[in-house]
């Protein structure tokens, strides 16, 4: 997204960032908590395969229904991006399936290829076709075709291996969907919580797109920090399910790497804004506030995952809803006092509060066993 910040005006870059958040939010709703279910409930090879296929059919059905209801509205163009990201992009069901079925190496390769194709296509749309704010929407239309071909190839391979037993798992899948509504709501609230700052700026700021551009630029660089815990947790997810002592060791490794990465990102931001993205040079303090909040978020990734793995969905939901509500209230109040910096402070407080609750409740779960 950095090339967009350089090439586009702040107005159009802010619009692009806003559509990015809308697509990611819609995708989390369409995904319906299924990536977490695939990672936490599936044990046997057969269950992993059939849960994935049922999840794929479920998301496709939601998409078809959404197309029917939204076909006469301007929001119609967002349905396919929601579907694409829920199925194939980072955090979608295909990535979770490949992680538990084929292992972290293959899943990481898939994730890298999809991300590269996505952002290269985004660059082409912006630079060569002069598509600006809605480029993040249209890029999904380019990639969904090839990815559906990949899915059909995977489906054929599984059919030949005689691993498809949808009828055997349909009843269980339905029961898990019903019983895991708190997980669905928790995932949606968690995404809403993380994007509250952007929506607050869109609603209350008199120069919304420019403020979103400033905030989004700082947020995109700070969010690189999350690659560290997400990668380490996903690589060792199967071990984390069975070895609770490894959680403490992995948390220590994550902490060291996150703090080191934060120092590197401070240097990178200083260089980028000093020599290339000079229009964002005065956003250094805002970046530091967002970076500190991302440090807390990075440190909470492991504990949040473990609470889901332990199937404490209600606990996860309560923690996320408390953080979400507190973030909204503080963002509205502090924005009126401090502007864009107030939104960053509110996010920092809410994310640190969430981290405290996650650690506390995970330790309670372990101590009560």
- The stretch 5-17 carries a mean pLDDT of 92
Determine the pLDDT at residue 13: 95
**216 and 322 fall within a common domain:** yes
**253 and 293 fall within a common domain:** yes
- The stretch 237-245 carries a mean pLDDT of 74
What band does 103 get if pLDDT is binned at 50, 70 and 90? confident
Residue whose pair of structure tokens reads 């695939």 in the numeric block = 38
Residue whose pair of structure tokens reads 């990815």 in the numeric block = 147
Q: What is the pLDDT of residues 164-220, one digit of tens each?
A: 788 888 888 888 777 667 767 777 777 777 788 999 999 999 999 999 999 999 999
**189 and 149 fall within a common domain:** no
Determine the pLDDT at residue 12: 94
Domain boundary among 144, 179, 214: 179
**271 and 204 fall within a common domain:** yes
- The stretch 126-137 carries a mean pLDDT of 92
Determine the pLDDT at residue 163: 75
**Alpha-carbon span 320 to 357, nearest angstrom:** 9
Q: What Cα–Cα distance (Å) separates residue 365 from each residue in 36, 174, 286, 369?
A: 19, 27, 36, 7
**236 and 261 fall within a common domain:** yes
- The stretch 303-312 carries a mean pLDDT of 83
| 158: three-class secondary structure by DSSP | helix
Domain boundary among 113, 144, 179: 179
Q: Which of 82, 105, 83 is nearest to 24 (CA)?
A: 82
Determine the pLDDT at residue 172: 83
What band does 247 get if pLDDT is binned at 50, 70 and 90? confident
Q: What Cα–Cα distance (Å) separates residue 335 from each residue in 33, 204, 222, 287, 307?
A: 32, 8, 21, 16, 33
Determine the pLDDT at residue 108: 86
Determine the pLDDT at residue 317: 83
Determine the pLDDT at residue 369: 61
- The stretch 233-244 carries a mean pLDDT of 75
Say whether pLDDT at 289 is over 70. yes
**Alpha-carbon span 56 to 87, nearest angstrom:** 7
Contact between residue 323 and residue 350 where contact means Cβ atoms under 8 Å apart: yes
Say whether pLDDT at 139 is over 90. yes
**237 and 298 fall within a common domain:** yes
| 33: three-class secondary structure by DSSP | coil
Q: How far does the chain reach from its first CA to its final CA, in angstroms?
A: 45
Q: Where are the alpha helices (DSSP H) in the chain?
A: 2-7, 10-31, 34-41, 45-70, 79-87, 93-101, 104-127, 135-160, 166-179, 181-204, 208-222, 227-235, 237-242, 245-275, 284-309, 313-338, 340-367
**29 and 153 fall within a common domain:** yes
Q: Which residue has the higher pLDDT, 235 or 273?
A: 273
**11 and 91 fall within a common domain:** yes
Question: Which structure tokens are listed for 236?
Answer: 């060792």
| DSSP category for residue 236 | T
The pTM score is: 0.84
**Alpha-carbon span 187 to 174, nearest angstrom:** 19
| 224: three-class secondary structure by DSSP | helix
**Summary mean pLDDT of the chain:** 89
String of DSSP letters for 318-358? HHHHHHHHHHHHHHHHHHHHHTHHHHHHHHHHHHHHHHHHH
**171 and 216 fall within a common domain:** no
> Total domain count for the chain?
2
Residue whose pair of structure tokens reads 């948390």 in the numeric block = 251
- The stretch 35-47 carries a mean pLDDT of 77
Determine the pLDDT at residue 164: 79
Determine the pLDDT at residue 234: 76
Contact between residue 218 and residue 283 where contact means Cβ atoms under 8 Å apart: yes
Q: What's phi and psi for 141, nearest 5 deg?
A: -65, -30
Say whether pLDDT at 337 is over 70. yes
Q: Which residue has the higher pLDDT, 23 or 32?
A: 23
| Helix axis angle, 34-41 to 181-204, nearest 10° | 140
Determine the pLDDT at residue 42: 62
What band does 351 get if pLDDT is binned at 50, 70 and 90? very high
Rounded to the nearest angstrom, the gap between the alpha carbon of residue 130 and the centroid of all alpha carbons in its chain is 27
**319 and 246 fall within a common domain:** yes
**75 and 187 fall within a common domain:** no
Domain boundary among 147, 179, 211: 179
Say whether pLDDT at 71 is over 70. yes
Dmax (CA) for the chain in angstroms is 63
Say whether pLDDT at 265 is over 90. yes
- The stretch 135-158 carries a mean pLDDT of 93
Domain span holding position 229: 180-369
**156 and 214 fall within a common domain:** no
Q: What is the pLDDT of residues 80-94, one digit of tens each?
A: 999 999 999 988 999
Residue whose pair of structure tokens reads 């949808």 in the numeric block = 166
């Amino acid at each position: 997204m950095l090339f967009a910040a350089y090439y586009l005006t702040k107005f159009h870059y802010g619009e692009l960032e806003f559509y990015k958040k809308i697509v990611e939010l819609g995708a989390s709703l369409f995904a319906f908590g299924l990536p977490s279910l695939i990672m936490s409930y599936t044990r046997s090879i057969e269950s992993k395969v059939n849960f994935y296929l049922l999840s794929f059919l479920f998301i496709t059905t939601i998409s078809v229904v959404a197309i029917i209801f939204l076909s006469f509205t301007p929001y119609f163009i967002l349905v396919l991006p929601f579907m694409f990201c829920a199925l194939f992009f980072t955090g979608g069901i295909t990535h979770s399936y490949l992680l538990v079925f084929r292992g972290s190496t293959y899943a990481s390769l898939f994730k890298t290829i999809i991300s590269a194709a996505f952002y290269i296509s985004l660059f082409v749309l912006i630079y060569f076709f002069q598509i600006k704010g809605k480029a993040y929407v249209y890029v999904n239309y380019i990639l969904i075709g090839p990815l559906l071909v990949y899915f059909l190839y995977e489906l054929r391979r599984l059919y030949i291996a005689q691993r498809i037993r949808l009828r055997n798992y349909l009843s269980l899948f339905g029961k898990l969907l019903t019983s895991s509504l708190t997980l669905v709501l928790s995932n949606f609230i968690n995404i809403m919580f993380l994007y509250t700052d952007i929506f607050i700026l869109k609603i209350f700021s008199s120069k919304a797109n420019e403020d979103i551009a400033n905030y989004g630029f700082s947020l995109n660089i700070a969010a690189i920090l999350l690659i560290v815990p997400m990668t380490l947790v996903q690589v060792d997810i199967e071990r984390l399910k069975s070895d609770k002592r490894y959680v403490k060791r992995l948390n220590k490794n994550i902490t060291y790497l996150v703090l080191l990465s934060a120092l590197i990102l401070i240097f990178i931001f200083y260089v980028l804004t000093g020599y290339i993205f000079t229009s964002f040079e005065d956003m250094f303090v805002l970046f530091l506030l967002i970076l500190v909040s991302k440090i807390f978020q990075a440190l909470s990734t492991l504990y949040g995952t473990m609470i889901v793995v332990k199937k404490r969905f209600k606990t996860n939901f309560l923690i996320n809803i408390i953080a979400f509500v507190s973030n909204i209230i503080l963002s509205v109040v502090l924005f009126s006092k401090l502007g864009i910096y107030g939104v960053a402070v509110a996010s920092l407080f809410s994310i640190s509060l969430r981290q405290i609750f996650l650690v506390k409740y995970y330790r309670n779960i372990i101590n009560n066993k």
